Structure formats: structure tokens, C-alpha cells
Structure 1
Amino acid sequence: MIHIVSPDNHHLYEELMEQAYRLRHRVFVEEKKWMDLAKPDGREIDQFDNEHAIHMLYIDGGKVLGYQRMLPSTRPHLLSDVLPHLCEDVLPIGEHIWEWTRYCVEPAHRERGRTLSPVANTLLSGIVEWGLESGVETIIIQMNPLWLLRLVQLHFRVMPLGLPQQVGGEDVVAVTASFDRRTLARLQEMRGDRQRVLAEPEKPVHRLAS
């Protein structure tokens, strides 16, 4: 299941968010060698992990196996403040546009070949379910150009914002990817079920007065 962590419920996920930050560090610093992100405590946290960020955690058995972060395009985000050179046109901004960042999956749960792993499919399905329920229909992504065809095959409508450029030693292209219920249906078809992937929000416990 995908759990959505926001400022309203962050206190319920403190230990799991610690796992998420350490997963980010293992993937982006130790694997990808993005040493600018290295932290002595092994937790990858940046200036965008603030009160405007939405964190999505794939949790199984109390373990965070996958993670992604959503940032509103109406606030500072990676494309606007860190990688503006990837956008050769007008910066996409709107309440219905959010940026998808820091996607990562534990190595043992990643895809092999062209097929999305169950964790990857569930993370993408979580974005689409959340977007359809929240009025978000487009995401900004900075990604390897090899992902372009895969997203189209998943029924995202993808529009490059510029040409690929070298970032952190690899080719990266910025795109917008729009989605609708057909995208969700395609992901469900590939997954083999139509079950909702977003967990129900955690409810606060009300203690009876003694």
C-alpha cells in the first residue's frame, strides 16, 4: 500500500520517514554517486522537504520499500530552483501541476527488464489515484530519456520541456506527463487487479477521559 505523508499526519510516520530518508541516501548518494547530496548521518534531506511536500511511502511489513515525493509547481521546486536550464520553454506552473521527485525503490524490489516491478507500478498508481482525487492531472519529471517510451506505453501524455542534458553524470530530460483514468486503467491492467493502492488516512486515537 501507498501511505501519503503530509504535514497533517507527519507525526504518525516519523520512524517510517527516517527509513525513507535513508533509502534516498542509499539510492542517490551511495548508488548514483550524487555526492552533493551526501549527509554524515546517512539521511538524504533537502530544502524541499518542507511543509509543502507530499511524501508517498510504499510500506510492506513495516518496511519502506519504495518512496516518491510530490512538490507543488506553485512553490519553489527542483525544476524552478535547481535545474531551470532543463526547461527551454515557459516553466509549467499551476495548481493542477506537481513535480515528481526522489523516486526510489529498494534494489530487491526493482524491475528486471522492461516490466514494471509491483512496487514501481504501485508507486505510479499512487500518483494517479492521488492526482485524480486531488485535482492534479500533470506531473513534472526530470528523468533518463529512456523512460519516455515507457511512460507513453503506460498511457501518460508526455511533453519534453527541452533537450536532454548531463546532470550528475547521466542524461536527464525534463518533461510534463499528464494522466487521466485511462492511465490508471492501464496500470491496473498491467498489475492484474483493480484494487485501490492508496491506504486510508490514519485516524487520530481519541482517549476517553478517566
Structure 2
Amino acid sequence: MADDERKKLEEEKKRKQAEIERKRAEVRARMEEASKAKKAKKGFMTPERKKKLRLLLRKKAAEELKKEQERKAAERRRIIEERCGKPKLVDDANEGSLKQVCEGYHRRIVDLENKKFDLEKEVEFRDFQISELNSQVNDLRGKFVKPTLKKVSKYENKFAKLQKKAAEFNFRNQLKVVKKKEFTLEEEDKEGPSYLLIF
């Protein structure tokens, strides 16, 4: 009897365990379907993928910027070395070798100043030629360059004419002339001024 009860309890436990497992499987299946539906709605670019892509783009841009800076620095060093030459060892040099180094630098400075002067004069001459050609072009075109005309509406022109007429319109000319003497301040002297009466 005790064995039968134990068997029944064990079978009951197994049945409950199987029921729990079956429910868990259903929940997992539902969750997987929901996640698939979300992925299908969102498309290919999920937020995690976007973050990874941004990080990769930033890293690549930083690497390219670093390479570009290194390339520019190397180019700068090469140009400086080409223009200035390698530095001379003057620490344990005697007076004669120092004189030769100074003379070499002096010759180089003179040559560079000559080239600079020639280039400045060439630039001035080209500027002069450009201004001369511009003046010749203007002479061939005509003395003045015609400005482009703007569109003006008809109503603005009419309004401007009316304003001009209103400015010319004199209000005093339109007043009536009154010949009553009641508004005069002084009576006119009929005889005239006294200095005229002497003659």
C-alpha cells in the first residue's frame, strides 16, 4: 500500500513536472515568435547593430585621421630637410670649418633672397598684366558694364506717380481768396507814407 501511494505520488510529480515543462516550452515559443516579429518590424538595423556600426565608423575615421596627420608630418619633415639641409656638426669643429659653414649658409641665404626678389617682381608684373587685360576687356565691351534689370510691377509705378503728383499738389492754390476787410489788422493809409507827401 505504501508502495502504491509512493508510485502514485511519483507519477503525480512526474505529471506536474511534464506539465510545467510543457508550459515553459509554450512560453519560450511565444517569446521567440514575439522577438522574431519585432526584428521583422525593425528591419535589418537594430539599435545594437547601429551602435556597433557607429563605433566602427568612429574607429575608422580616427585611424584615417591619424594616418593623415602622420603623412602630413612626414611630408613636412621631408620638405624642411630638403630646404634647410641637414644640420652641420659644429660642436667639435675648428675655426676654419666654422668659417666654411657660415660662408655656405651666407651663400644659401643670398641665393634664396635673390629667388624671393625675382618671384615678387614676377608676381607684380603678372598683377599689372591682369589689370591691363581687365581694362582692355572693359574698353572692348564699352565704357560701362550694363547692370541687369530688375522686374518692377506696374502697380508700384502707378503708386509712385500718384505720390509724385501729391507732392506737387499745392494746398494753398486750392483755397478760395476772401476779399473781406474784417480780418485785416490795420487800416490802410490812403494818402500813402509821409515822405511821399513832400513832393
TM-score interval for Structure 1 and Structure 2 normalised by the shorter chain: under 0.3
Q: Under a length normalisation based on structure 1, what TM-score does the superposition of the two structures give?
A: 0.13
Larger radius of gyration: 2
Greater RCO (CA < 8 Å, at least 6 residues apart): 1
Name the structure where helix makes up a greater proportion of residues: 2
Q: Under a length normalisation based on structure 2, what TM-score does the superposition of the two structures give?
A: 0.13
Name the structure where strand makes up a greater proportion of residues: 1
